[in-house]
A and B are shown apart, each in its own frame.
Chain A
Amino acid sequence: MTTLIEPRPETPNISSLVQHDRVHTSLYNDPALFAQEMDKIFNKTWVWVAHESDIKGPGDYISTYVGLQPVIVVRDRKKQVHVLLNRCRHRAATVCEKKKGRTNSFVCPYHGWGYGLDGSLRGVPMNEGYAESFDKAEYGLVSLRVETYAGLIFATFNEDAPSLSDFLGDAKPWIDLFMKQGGGFPVKFGGEHKFKFPGNWKIQLENTTDAYHFPVVHKSFLQSLDDQAEELFSFLDGDGYVQDLGNGHSVMVMIPELVDLDENLDDPIPERFQDLAASLSKKHTEEEVRKIIRAVGGSGFNVNLFPNLACSMAFFRVLRPVSVTETEIRHVTLLMDGGPEEGNRARLRLHEHFQGPMGFGSPDDAEAWERVQRGSQAGPDMWIMLNRGLEGDGAGPKGTNRGDVSAETGMRAAYQKWKEMMEASQ
């Protein structure tokens, strides 16, 4: 007899798919693995949702996602931040469709159930139609656990997850260094480029810890720079490195002299910032000018936080898995809150130079990632190789894995965390 319904695919044996120096091609294109990733990674660990400056005042909110699930990030009147599932407890309609704004409450458009900024159910039209036992306290918007570090707001569905501080661990000092690019001012959200590419989210996860591609993919960007800047961005033959920071996180230092922006303030001001420095000098002391100029250029490293955020040189790279073969990327630009207008304009123009659908860098990255997804259809039993810089494993401080700047150390770190989480029992 002919079997009309295909048997369910066997649950893949995770441990056989991730080896130390390679991962199996199915990690890019198996829908069953993608479903498990959403469940075992995005619904289990800390996922970055917003920067504090996105929701500065009471009632300020943004709508975003944790994995595939739409959420609202909102600050209540007592300044506390809540991350709420964007789903009415009655019949599931979203209670917010605006990307950002300020409000007193969230009201479902379908039957008018109204929720407070903390997610509690406040109003139900024609309440008398429900039984006496109906208790509004049981029908608040589902609220996630929220913790914050250095202005970065994370949420998780997992009440048993370690503290955010423990989760970030050795990445914390690097986040602190990254936030120095406020140039003495707080860092604030300054707009974003958002795009989708037809490929798996882990292709993007790998990219922010991949310096090896830079001179190849970004040759046309490098050619658009002046000689001094081109030299700065030609970092593959420099002293940079990639280090495993634990928990799937890693740091890639591309330009070591731009690790701590408070240092080397006496260095000559680069040619491309001379005009800006002259303009800033009218209102600022020489030390302030040097600090702002260093900040405008951004940091010289990427901190990759598993699974969805990278603090990347001068911006946040945020990834959102959409399906096994589709990913949304946001490149969030950061400005000096209260800083000089011309300094912030310079940061905006630098961001536009590289990022976005018309940038000199991102479209070439996107082309490479799309080609990875297309190519991975060939040789379904082949491996994605991550064996660059293996000799650095165990060679870093305290026996950590640390390779040269082009090493694939950060990718190996992320995939080991992936394997650990995917193998965990529910």
Chain B
Amino acid sequence: MTLDLQTAAEFLWKEADMLDRRDYEAWQGLWTEDGLYIVPIERDAEDYADVLNYAYDDAKMRDMRVRRLNSSFSMSALTASNTVRTISRFVVLDRSASEITVRGAQMLADYRRDNLRMLAADVEATIRQTDDGLKLVRKVVTLVNCEDAVTGMGYLL
């Protein structure tokens, strides 16, 4: 069965729901061991490994990040915003026998201490069919204001 856009969209909707509910343990299970989660500062960098990012997470760093957010020792995570996000406007960028890469638009509303903030982003995701089901191989979340001041968030994009 080749992966189609509908399958990718349903996977990313499930992921978005997990992140809004801050079910980070379940989110961890969505990734392949070689998966990369990237939130860039620079648009269109040739290789994100060679530039500064907001997040450039391999499996080890993702694990540390989730443990921190769940630890109850981080003030910013304990007082994190409530978020509601939606992801749509999908286009297929690439497709092979076992993988599909899509780009979508994510609109996230974040509410905290009387402040409502909107964070818009392009999301590029590569999803792989494995023996364990569908897994994320790469997710790049490029905020519309990534090159400007971005204020801290105690949650995941």
**Residues in chain A within 8 A of chain B (CB atoms):** 99, 190-197, 217, 219-221, 223-224, 328, 333, 341, 344-345, 348-349, 351-353, 356-358, 360, 362-364, 366-368
- Is the Cβ of A191 less than 8 Å from the Cβ of B68? no
Which of B46-54, B99-107, B125-133 lines the interface with chain A?
B46-54
- Is the Cβ of B68 less than 8 Å from the Cβ of A360? yes
Alpha-carbon distance between A190 and B157 when the two chains are bound, in angstroms: 24
Which of B3-11, B27-35, B74-82, B86-94 lines the interface with chain A?
B74-82
Q: Note all chain A residues with C-beta closer than 8 A to B75.
A: 217, 364, 367-368
Q: Note all chain B residues with C-beta closer than 8 A to A194.
A: 148-150
- Is the Cβ of A363 less than 8 Å from the Cβ of B71? no
B45-72 interface code vs A (CB 8 A; 1 in, 0 out)? 0000111111110000100110110010
- Is the Cβ of B56 less than 8 Å from the Cβ of A366? no
Which size class do B's interface residues fall under? 20 to 34
- Is the Cβ of A366 less than 8 Å from the Cβ of B150? no
Contact of A358 among B55, B64, B67 (CB under 8 A): B55
Alpha-carbon distance between A353 and B65 when the two chains are bound, in angstroms: 9
Alpha-carbon distance between A333 and B56 when the two chains are bound, in angstroms: 15
Using A194-B149, A368-B75 as known contacts, list a sample of 4 further A-B pairs with CB atoms less than 8 Å apart, ordered by residue number in A. A193-B52, A194-B148, A358-B152, A363-B74
**Whole-angstrom distance between the Cβ of B81 and the nearest chain A Cβ:** 11
**Whole-angstrom distance between the Cβ of B89 and the nearest chain A Cβ:** 24
Contact of A364 among B51, B74, B150, B157 (CB under 8 A): B74
Contact of B54 among A341, A357, A364 (CB under 8 A): A357
Residue in chain A with minimal CB distance to B70: A220
- Is the Cβ of B73 less than 8 Å from the Cβ of A356? no
Q: Does B151 contact A (CB under 8 A)?
A: yes
Given contacts A194-B149, A349-B56, A357-B150, contact A220 B74 (CB under 8 A): yes
Q: Note all chain A residues with C-beta closer than 8 A to B36.
A: none
Residue in chain B with minimal CB distance to A99: B147
- Is the Cβ of A352 less than 8 Å from the Cβ of B49? no
Q: Note all chain A residues with C-beta closer than 8 A to B41.
A: 191-193
Contact of B76 among A191, A219, A341, A364 (CB under 8 A): A364
Residue in chain A with minimal CB distance to B53: A352
Alpha-carbon distance between A151 and B53 when the two chains are bound, in angstroms: 25
Q: Note all chain A residues with C-beta closer than 8 A to B55.
A: 352, 358
Q: How many A-B residue pairs have CB under 8 A?
A: 94
Q: Note all chain B residues with C-beta closer than 8 A to A360.
A: 64-65, 68, 74
**Whole-angstrom distance between the Cβ of B140 and the nearest chain A Cβ:** 14
Alpha-carbon distance between A217 and B65 when the two chains are bound, in angstroms: 16
Q: Note all chain A residues with C-beta closer than 8 A to B15.
A: none
Given contacts A195-B151, A328-B149, contact A223 B54 (CB under 8 A): no
Most B Cβ at <10 Å: residue of A358, A367, A368: A358
- Is the Cβ of B64 less than 8 Å from the Cβ of A366? no
A-B contact pairs, 7 of them (CB 8 A): A99-B147, A194-B150, A195-B152, A345-B49, A356-B150, A360-B68, A363-B74
Given contacts A217-B75, A352-B56, A367-B76, contact A344 B50 (CB under 8 A): yes
Given contacts A366-B76, A367-B79, contact A224 B152 (CB under 8 A): no
Q: Does B153 contact A (CB under 8 A)?
A: yes
Most B Cβ at <10 Å: residue of A197, A341, A360: A360
Q: Note all chain A residues with C-beta closer than 8 A to B56.
A: 348-349, 352
Q: Note all chain B residues with C-beta closer than 8 A to A367.
A: 75-76, 79, 152
Q: Note all chain B residues with C-beta closer than 8 A to A363.
A: 74, 76-77, 152-154
Q: Which 8 A-B pairs give the minimum distances between C-beta atoms?
A: A191-B52, A363-B152, A363-B76, A220-B74, A219-B73, A220-B73, A357-B152, A367-B75
Residue in chain A with minimal CB distance to B153: A357
Contact of A352 among B50, B52, B67 (CB under 8 A): B52
Q: Does B123 contact A (CB under 8 A)?
A: no
Residue in chain B with minimal CB distance to A221: B68
Q: Note all chain B residues with C-beta closer than 8 A to A190.
A: 52
- Is the Cβ of B153 less than 8 Å from the Cβ of A195? no
Q: Note all chain B residues with C-beta closer than 8 A to A220.
A: 68, 71, 73-74, 77
Residue in chain A with minimal CB distance to B75: A367
Given contacts A196-B149, A366-B76, contact A191 B42 (CB under 8 A): yes
Q: Does B136 contact A (CB under 8 A)?
A: no
Residue in chain A with minimal CB distance to B147: A99
Residue in chain B with minimal CB distance to A322: B149
Given contacts A357-B54, A363-B76, A363-B153, contact A223 B49 (CB under 8 A): no
Q: Does B39 contact A (CB under 8 A)?
A: yes
Q: Note all chain A residues with C-beta closer than 8 A to B42.
A: 191
**Whole-angstrom distance between the Cβ of B4 and the nearest chain A Cβ:** 32
Alpha-carbon distance between A349 and B64 when the two chains are bound, in angstroms: 13
Contact of A223 among B71, B79, B157 (CB under 8 A): B71
Q: Note all chain B residues with C-beta closer than 8 A to A219.
A: 73-74
Alpha-carbon distance between A193 and B49 when the two chains are bound, in angstroms: 16
Alpha-carbon distance between A32 and B150 when the two chains are bound, in angstroms: 28
Alpha-carbon distance between A367 and B76 when the two chains are bound, in angstroms: 6
